[in-house]
Chain A
């Protein structure tokens, strides 16, 4: 969240101070270098063990077959797909909806993104505190929060005022924030010893959902205008 802002600030300052914009990229590479040195000093066993994902004599292909043979990966991916579709779709177009519906300026439209990010951050800190004390089944969290998120999105879309829309979109951020970590936790618990394969497949399918969400909303908006 801070990265692009810092980079944008640097591009402006680099021109002003007659320095190279490339230094921003060198700093990014430096961050990776620091993490690399850090990783060098970590013990393999503390990270789940070297080669633990492949199991004892288990070929990678059979691990993938095993993961793909489980309905859990499809349930999680489907949930991730719709999670990405709804979130990315709303984030991309809620500002434009309010610009058309309530005639707000771009700065006030951009506030939707900021309050949602704030809601996500607050929601995750709160959720982390709750789950550090109590174990709440992941699918219960996903069901309740997805239902709440949907209601908050609908309230945002149908809100008669800008202020109520902002409040509802903040609430949607709080609720949506629990779904990603719960999905990861669910997968981690169901694919013990095969987590790398499961997370890799899950990430790919979820990304398709996020990309599809923007495409779907954009295409629907385009066809609505045309009609």
Chain B
């Protein structure tokens, strides 16, 4: 599977295309970019299945952005404590669980609970991706930031 066998210093000189970290970052961007606005896209379904009102659906977005904002306060400390790789794994687990929670919800309150975890994890993935780029692609980070952003146009 994917492992970086070359020393860290190589990332400054070799083309980004040959770097496994680059492809992980692109996949990460595509991954969270494809689901980050799953909530508003599902509003018609929430209305049909749960009889959710406009106010309730708006609340789901409020909770999503509220928990994103909460991450901006505690996120740096959490990532600093457990490291980028483990943070990425935890954030991916939370994001996957949140999407499953919303997908299996029998009541709209469960969707709201999922929205909290979902917003938090998406914010975490964005910050983790940016931190990996800054730490790994020191010299050509400007180019890699732009390429990763291309994978998530209009993304978070």
- Contact of A35 with B142 in the complex, beta carbons under 8 Å: no
Q: Which of A42, A181, A188 is close to B4, meaning CB atoms less than 8 Å apart?
A: A42
Does B132 make an interface contact (CB < 8 A)? Answer: yes
- Contact of A39 with B76 in the complex, beta carbons under 8 Å: no
A189 to B140, CA, bound (A): 11
Query: Taking A60-B77, A120-B154, A197-B76 as contacts, is the C-beta distance between A39 and B85 under 8 angstroms?
Result: yes
Query: Taking A7-B38, A25-B38 as contacts, is the C-beta distance between A203 and B20 under 8 angstroms?
Result: no
A35 to B92, CA, bound (A): 7
Q: Which of B2, B31, B127 is close to A31, meaning CB atoms less than 8 Å apart?
A: B31
Q: Enumerate B33-85 residues with CB–CB distance to A below 8 Å.
A: 33-38, 40-42, 44-45, 49, 65, 68-69, 71-77, 79-85
Q: Which of A38, A117, A200 is close to B2, meaning CB atoms less than 8 Å apart?
A: A38
Q: Tell me the count of chain A residues lying within 8 A, CB to CB, of chain B.
A: 84
Per-position 1/0 for A24-39, Cβ under 8 A of B:
1110110111111011
- SS class, residues of chain B in contact with chain A: helix
Q: Enumerate A42-76 residues with CB–CB distance to B below 8 Å.
A: 42-55, 60-61, 63-64, 67
| Nearest B residue to A128, CB-CB | B146
Q: Could you say which of A132, A189, A192 has the most chain B C-beta atoms within 10 Å of its C-beta?
A: A132
Does B128 make an interface contact (CB < 8 A)? Answer: yes
| Nearest B residue to A60, CB-CB | B77
Residues on A with C-beta less than 8 A from B131 are 48, 53, 188, 195-196, 199
Does A124 make an interface contact (CB < 8 A)? Answer: yes
Does A2 make an interface contact (CB < 8 A)? Answer: yes
- Contact of B75 with A196 in the complex, beta carbons under 8 Å: yes
Q: Tell me the count of chain B residues lying within 8 A, CB to CB, of chain A.
A: 82
A41 to B5, CA, bound (A): 12
CB distance from B3 to the nearest CB of A (A): 6
Q: Which of B34, B84, B100 is close to A53, meaning CB atoms less than 8 Å apart?
A: B84
- Contact of A46 with B136 in the complex, beta carbons under 8 Å: yes
A135 to B136, CA, bound (A): 17
- Contact of A203 with B154 in the complex, beta carbons under 8 Å: no
- Contact of A178 with B146 in the complex, beta carbons under 8 Å: yes
Does B145 make an interface contact (CB < 8 A)? Answer: yes
Does B113 make an interface contact (CB < 8 A)? Answer: no
| Nearest A residue to B87, CB-CB | A196
Per-position 1/0 for A82-114, Cβ under 8 A of B:
000000000000000000000000000000000
- Contact of A4 with B24 in the complex, beta carbons under 8 Å: no
- Contact of A47 with B76 in the complex, beta carbons under 8 Å: no
Does B109 make an interface contact (CB < 8 A)? Answer: no
Per-position 1/0 for B125-137, Cβ under 8 A of A:
0111011111110
Q: Which residues on A are within 8 Å of B, measured CB to CB? A: 1-4, 6-8, 11, 21-22, 24-26, 28-29, 31-36, 38-55, 60-61, 63-64, 67, 117, 120-121, 124-125, 127-129, 131-132, 135-136, 138, 177-178, 180-182, 184-185, 187-189, 191-192, 194-205, 207-208, 211
Residue pairs across A and B with Cβ atoms less than 8 A apart, 19 shown, are A1-B154, A7-B38, A11-B42, A25-B103, A25-B104, A28-B35, A28-B38, A32-B92, A32-B99, A44-B83, A44-B85, A60-B76, A121-B153, A136-B142, A195-B131, A195-B134, A200-B72, A203-B123, A211-B65
Q: For the A-B complex with A1-B154, A36-B89, A189-B141 known, give 20 more contacts whose Cβ atoms are closer than 8 Å.
A: A3-B34, A11-B44, A25-B38, A28-B34, A31-B31, A32-B93, A36-B96, A44-B86, A46-B20, A46-B21, A48-B132, A50-B82, A50-B85, A53-B79, A64-B77, A117-B154, A131-B140, A135-B142, A201-B73, A203-B126
* Shortest Cβ-Cβ A-B pairs, 6 listed: A204-B72, A25-B103, A48-B135, A197-B76, A188-B134, A50-B83
